[in-house]
Amino acid sequence: MFSYKKSQLISFFSFRSTRSNIAFHIFVSLSFILRPTSAIPFVIIYPYILYKTSKRLQFLIQAFICFTLLNICNSLLDSYMYNQWTFVPLNFLYINFFHPNSISSHYGINNIFWYITNGLPMIFFYRLPFLFLGAIQEKRLTIIVLFTIFIYTLNVHKEFRFLTQILPILFILEANGINWCLKRFRWNKFRWIFYLSFIGHIFIGIYFSLIDRQGQISVMNYIRNNLPNENQQMLSVDFLMPCHSTPYYSFIHRDDIQLNFLTCEPNLNNRTNDYMDEADKFFLNPIESLKQRLHDINPSHLIMFDTLYDQVKEIFDGDQWFSVKDIIFNSHIQHTSRHGKMIYILEKK
């Protein structure tokens, strides 16, 4: 059954404690401020709680006060920082759903069934049948999941991370499915299979947390710790990688290094339909684009994947150009042609 005792989403709610109710509303409001889409599951949860509680008026007043006050404070802070009146959730809604240039499509277009055919299978893999079995048993939780996925389906761009806010509910459904199988088919003597699966997931978690794509973090450690600046001159590092491949200033904590990277901002200014961001233009013609960046930016260091280095290494043959300073392992698996197994660090001669 869907109740406040079983779902962490409403663990701060109590039908008896006024303080707990306020804490519940505060955390829901804060989650909306941090990411507006977190409100989607609560479109179902709030009416259910309102139906179950005996203090409906008190519940509504507390919800209104908490939501209004926190969002006003957040809007005032944003407006102060942007020097203009700003309400981020409204801008978020406009940019992602109503902008005439379909901004979200800039980052990829997926079919309408993507979350069913790709999203959930990739996350749960062989455990997917248990999820479906649990969904049959827990109809109220299933309604929340289906409603959330339906809203996300309305957007042409879809990602695995969008499902993270309903993962606790999905895990509850999966656990109920496993429990149903154990009771229905008397699988108690096969419990070792689930323990073995748990151990397997630990190793998978260790690999993807500590090994896979660690080069994109290690290269920032290298920049922070291995770029001496004896002459106290501003160093310039140019990241010739897909957008958001690495952290930036928040990681290196040095004010003597200027970081440059290929931008991938969407078409916000009603430009032509054949709009291409800086990163797309660069990878379309990497040799000429790199020559132009070397002239315009004049970096002291270049960071790139081996896939790009193999395409542009002829540029560095002359003594006046760059030499390979270090090569860092990144990943065994490359999910796009622009990523690579190794990361090259080049330094100006």
The pTM of the full predicted model, rounded to 2 decimals, is 0.77
C-alpha radius of gyration, the chain, whole number: 25
Cβ distance 54 to 15 under 8 Å?
Answer: yes
Work out the average pLDDT over 296-316.
91
CB neighbour class for 313 (10 Å; exposed up to 12, middle 13-18, buried from 19)? middle
Per-residue model confidence as pLDDT tens digits over 137-195: 888 899 999 999 999 998 888 988 899 889 999 999 999 998 888 887 776 666 777 78
DSSP 40-109: TTHHHHHHHHHHH-S-HHHHHHHHHHHHHHHHHHHHHHHHHHHTS---HHHHHHIIIII-TT-GGGGG--
Predicted local distance difference test score (pLDDT) of residue 18: 46
Per-residue model confidence as pLDDT tens digits over 281-294: 999 999 999 999 99
Contacts of 107 (CB under 8 A, 6+ apart): 157, 266
Per-residue model confidence as pLDDT tens digits over 48-81: 888 888 888 988 999 999 999 999 999 999 999 9
Residue 325, SS3? strand
Sheet holding 342-348, edge to edge: 257-261, 235-240, 301-305, 342-348, 322-329
The CA angle 206-207-212, to the nearest 5 degrees, is: 130
Per-residue model confidence as pLDDT tens digits over 91-127: 888 887 777 776 777 777 888 999 999 999 988 888 8
Work out the average pLDDT over 299-310.
94
Residue in the structure block whose two tokens are 């499915």: 177
Cβ distance 173 to 141 under 8 Å?
Answer: yes
Predicted local distance difference test score (pLDDT) of residue 1: 40
Name residue 133's amino acid: L
